Amino acid sequence: MVLKVSFILVLLVICSCVVKAISENHNHLNKNGSSLAAIKFPDHPSFNVVSSSDDTGCSFSNSEKFGHSEATMTSAKEAHVDGGEGEKGEAFLATNPHKQSVKLHLKHRSVSNEVEPKKSVVDFTARDLTRIQTLHRRVIEKKNQNTISRLQKAQEKSKQSYKPVVAPAASPEYFSGGYSSQLVATLESGVTLGSGEYFMDVFVGTPPKHFSLILDTGSDLNWIQCVPCIACFEQSGPYYDPKDSSSFKNISCHDPRCQLVSSPDPPKPCKAENQTCPYFYWYGDSSNTTGDFAVETFTVNLTTPTGKSELKHVENVMFGCGHWNRGLFHGAAGLLGLGRGPLSFASQLQSLYGHSFSYCLVDRNSNTSVSSKLIFGEDKELLSHPNLNFTTFVGGKENPADTFYYVQIKSVMVDGEVVKIPEETWHLSAEGAGGTIIDSGTTLTYFADPAYEMIKEAFMKKIKGYALVEGLPPLKPCYNVSGIEKMELPDFGILFADGAVWNFPVENYFIQIDPDVVCLAILGTPRSALSIIGNYQQQNFHILYDMKKSRLGYAPMKCADV
């Protein structure tokens, strides 16, 4: 009898170990996984923090204590998604063993009736100008050099060449079936949230919870406001709480991935083995985010060839868990970076979906039900579009930390005539001054002087029959169009140095700020500052970022139909 009881007890212990280990494996927690409930934060950003860890005593562990993230996709038969409104996860579909295209739904909110068009224009123009100063300062002051020097030191120490920490190819076990599928998420205009940016709906953690993140091609780091939120801006919905997610894992300050982020000043010594990796990301003005660098599972929708919407997990996405955040991020929960650096969401998905992504921004004044798509990977329909044109990206090749997507403008055309702008106006200097970027986070288009003044004068010479309207700063010129059924305004296009031409419809460079008043939706920046092609001018164009061939593609498109 004693032997029988002993045997049963042994079986119970073994089962307990197995169940606990399986549970931990399911939660994707390794030895440096932690819950922020165990962290006591000081009154200032001193991140001398050690993450908690538990040892079950069972013989189940990861082979490496600290290693590079492997952003992978997994599927399950069922998932529960907490979207704040009771959204439920649906069954997942698998994909084939080749790189897939990721198609993300882009939804757009209409401008609130409570917001006056004049005030809206003034507000987002003020934010634009602040952002431009921010981007210019980031280039000139070379804040990214902190990252470069860290990588160089790591090379010298290891005597090995640096390889960007991006997602390796997904293993065949994650795929089955013989057809291509696409991932889908939502992107909305931030107009009704008091912001000029576009937002993407993302589900973060396990179980997944819904957050709206700003889509930004002008930055790299993905980050979310996190509990405990010591100094945070107002957002729509609750803050992300790491302790509610079983897939959240802190990155240790000893982990090679920690070298990809800048640390707060002054940097804190990295002592304990499982001490967290602090990050600081600066946007140039008062906007910044500070917190813990970590990995998490991001969940997005899946659109199958039959059009059915499913859900899919993308695991081990590097992101910032921000506890101190401030700046011009109105209404958002954080930011999804699509820049050229290794930390961006686009870069982390490259080995899963290839070296290209594209988006199509719907008209900012369209109905709330209108949606479009953000696509990671090759979009065959776009590539076969008869009006798809390309221009080459410039700069960034010699600087691995360069975030921005530069294009080389030669001149512009107004009403079919080339405006004779000095070529040096468009040049990107060795010090990083000047140049032109395409940016999803800036609303209007901005050209450095003297280009802007010359373009404005060219429009004023060509426009006849409409009365000038004064007193509507900062936009100029503005015209009274009352009683006119069909406006006739000059054509506008950009000439690139490689011979490409980008022609725009009038609604992309004139903006209606009153029922009877339209204004040129182009503004100026100081001489030698950045010129920026903003998202207003990108409306209803399918924009392709092809990093493999280092080129920008653009095709006129009714984005609601993509």
pLDDT in tens, 252-272: 999 999 999 998 888 888 989
pLDDT at 329: 79
363 part of the active site: no
pLDDT band at 390 (very low <50, low <70, confident <90, very high): very high
Q: Region 454-483: what's the mean pLDDT?
A: 91
Contacts of 374 (CB under 8 A, 6+ apart): 103, 104, 105, 106, 185, 187, 200, 215, 357, 358, 359
Q: Would you state the pLDDT for residue 494?
A: 98
Strands (E), 369-457: 371-376, 389-394, 406-407, 409-414, 417-419, 436-438, 445-448
Q: Which residues fall within 8 angstroms of residue 273, CB to CB, at 6 or more apart?
A: 65, 252, 254
Check whether 339 has a pLDDT greater than 50.
Answer: yes
**Which distant-in-sequence residues (6+ apart) come within 8 Å of 210 by Cβ?**
81, 82, 83, 84, 87, 201, 202, 203, 237
Helix (H), strand (E) counts: the chain: 8, 30
Q: Which residue has the higher pLDDT, 297 or 372?
A: 297
Whether 352 has a pLDDT exceeding 90, the answer reads no
- Parallel, antiparallel, or unpaired: how do β-strands 309-326 and 223-225 relate? parallel
pLDDT at 485: 81
Tokens of 478: 């503005």
Burial of 493 (0-12, 13-18, 19+ CB in 10 A): middle
Average pLDDT rounded to a whole number, residues 215-233: 93
SS3 451: helix
More confident call, 170 vs 318: 318
Give the pLDDT confidence of 101-141 residue by residue, as tens digits.
Answer: 767 665 544 444 555 555 566 666 766 766 766 666 666 55
Exactly one of 128, 379, 439, 546 is catalytic; name it.
Answer: 439
- Give the model's confidence band at 305: pLDDT under 50 very low, under 70 low, under 90 confident, else very high: low
Position 522 scores a pLDDT of: 95
Mean pLDDT calculated for residue range 372-376: 80
Secondary structure (DSSP) of 160-191:
S------PPPPPGGG--SSS--EEE-EEEESG
Say what the pTM is.
0.74
The single residue listed with the structure tokens 């640390």 is 263
Question: Could you tell me what percent of the chain has a pLDDT over 70?
Answer: 62
Average pLDDT of the residues in 331-353:
89
pLDDT score of 14 = 45
- Using the predicted structure, report yes or no on whether residue 399 has a pLDDT greater than 70: no
Active site residue 216: yes
Q: Provide the pLDDT for residue 141.
A: 56
C-alpha separations of 322 from 154, 224, 227, 266, 281 in Å: 26, 6, 8, 18, 10
Structure tokens at 385: 């579009």
- Of the residues 216, 220, 255, 379, which is catalytic? 216
pLDDT of residue 168: 29
CB 479 within 8 A of CB 468: yes
DSSP designation for 428? B
Q: pLDDT at position 479, please? A: 95
> Strand 522-525 to strand 445-448: parallel, antiparallel, or no bridges (unpaired)?
parallel
The stretch 9-29 carries a mean pLDDT of: 42
The overall average pLDDT reported for the chain is 73
The predicted structure's pLDDT at residue 308: 66
